Structure 1
Amino acid sequence: MPAYGFAHLRDRRHHPDVLEYLRRIQNTLDPFHGRFLIHGPPSEVLEGSWPGSMVLIEFPGMAEARAWYESPEYQKILRLRADHIDGDLVLVEGVGPGYDPRERAEKLQADAARERA
C-alpha cells in the first residue's frame, strides 16, 4: 500500500537555508523511492481556508516513508526547512486500488452499533 508524507506549510520564506534544503531533499528521497506528487504554490480553496501551501510525497509503503524521515541524511537537512517555515508534516497510509468508501461507511455504522449495545 502506498504511503504519503503530507506537509502543510504556512508562512513560507525563501531563506537561503530553505533553498539549500530544496537542493538536497531529492537525494534523501531517492533511496526510499520517494517522489513529489505536489510541491508548492497555494491551491484553489473551495471550502474553508488554507493558509500556506502543501507538499505531498509518495512512498511505496509506510516503512519507506518512516525510514526516509528517520534517515541520517534527511535529519541532517531537516532544520534547514523547519527553522524557517512553520508547518505540519504527517505520514499517512494510502488506500488500495479497490477501496470503496461505502464499505468504510458500513464498518463505521457497525462499530457505532456495537458501541451503543
Structure 2
Amino acid sequence: MEGGGGTLSEIYQSAKKLLMRAQDGIERLERLENSTSSGGLDSPELSFVVKKDISQVLSLCADMDRLWRSVQAKPQRDLWRRKVELVAEEAGSLKESLDRYFARNQRRMKEAQERAELLGRAVCFLLSV
C-alpha cells in the first residue's frame, strides 16, 4: 500500500489535517467578512492558503483513490473507499464555501467601485453647477 506520499493511512491523516486547517481558514475568512461594518475585509493571503490546502486535499484524494483499490481484504477495501469518498466530499464542500466567499467578495468590490464612480459623478456635477 505504499504510494508517493506514504501509506494510505498516512496520506489519509495528512488529508484530514489539511481539511481541518482549511475549515478553520474559511471560518476565519467569514469572521473577518462579518466583523466590519463596511461590508467585510478581504484577506488574500488567508484565502490563498485555504485554496492551496483544498487543492492539496483533492490531490491526496486522487492518491488515496489509487491506493485503496490495492487493499486485499474486501471489508478494509470498502472501509477505505468510503473514507476516501467522505474526504473528497468534505473537500468539495469546502471548495464550494470558498467559491461563495470569493463571489461575495467580488460583489462587494464591484458595489464599492460603483459607489465611488457615482460619488465622483455627483461631485463633478456639483462642481459644474
TM-score, structure 2 normalization: 0.27
More helix by share: 2
* Larger-gyration structure (1/2): 2
